Amino acid sequence: MKIITEEKPTKIAVVRCDIVSETCPGVGCFMAFNKRKMYFKDYDENAEMIAFFTCGGCSGRRVYRLVKSIKKMGVDVVHLSSCMQMEDYPECPHIDSIRKTITDAGIEVVEGTHH
Ligand code: SF4
């Protein structure tokens, strides 16, 4: 009997700014992921976007609960969206604690999505 082994696809999530989400549908993040550009350029074609969520508003109140949830789903990497980090948006004053919440859960963080 032939045994087929498939490499496990990398599971990716994006957390983004709740304030910016009022005006941004997230197209830039998804275009970058779908085309494997910018901060997604190192993923192979099997990589999967399994979650895309906002922080829940200052000070990132949803992040802890949602990170627990996606960890159960086997997420490998969480991207902090570019809108949390760009100079032409108000800079996120809570990004350090949001990042720490994710890394404390044992999940790798990538800084940025499409800018
Ligand atoms: S905590 Fe940061 S990312 Fe979340 S709404 Fe506030 S400024 Fe935006």
Question: Residue 71 belongs to a domain with what CATH number?
Answer: 3.40.50
Mean pLDDT over 55-60 rounds to: 97
Contact between 68 and 103 under an 8 Å Cβ cutoff? The reply is no
Residue 5 lies in a domain: no
On average, the pLDDT of the chain sits at: 93
Inside any domain, residue 33: yes
State yes or no: cis peptide before 21, omega within 30 of 0.
no
Q: What is the dihedral of CA 63, 18, 49, 26, to 10 degrees?
A: -170
Does any ligand 1 atom lie closer than 6 A to the CB of residue 80?
no
Please give the structure tokens belonging to residue 26.
């997230």
Asked whether residue 6 is assigned to any structural domain, the reply reads: no
Give the pLDDT confidence of 31-51 residue by residue, as tens digits: 999 999 999 999 999 999 999
Instruction: Give how many domains the chain has, as a whole number.
Output: 1
Residue 86 in contact with ligand 1 by CB distance below 6 A: no
In a domain, 3, yes or no: no
Query: Which of 24, 53, 58 has most ligand 1 atoms within 8 Å of CB, for mutation?
Result: 58
Question: 76, 14 in Cβ contact below 8 A?
Answer: no
The residue whose CA is least distant from atom 1 of ligand 1 is 58
pLDDT of residue 90: 76
Total count of residues recorded for the chain: 115
CB contact at 8 A, 39 and 16? no
Is residue 1 included in any domain, yes or no? Answer: no
Ligand 1, atom 5: nearest CA belongs to which residue? Answer: 57
Domain holding 80, by residue range, is 11-111
Q: How far is the CA of 72 from the centre of ligand 1 (A)?
A: 24
Say how many Å lie between the CA of residue 11 and the centre of ligand 1. 24
Greater confidence (102 vs 89) lies with 102
Any domain includes 2: no
Identify the band that residue 53 occupies on the pLDDT scale cut at 50, 70 and 90.
very high
51 found inside a domain: yes
Flag whether 78 is in a domain: yes
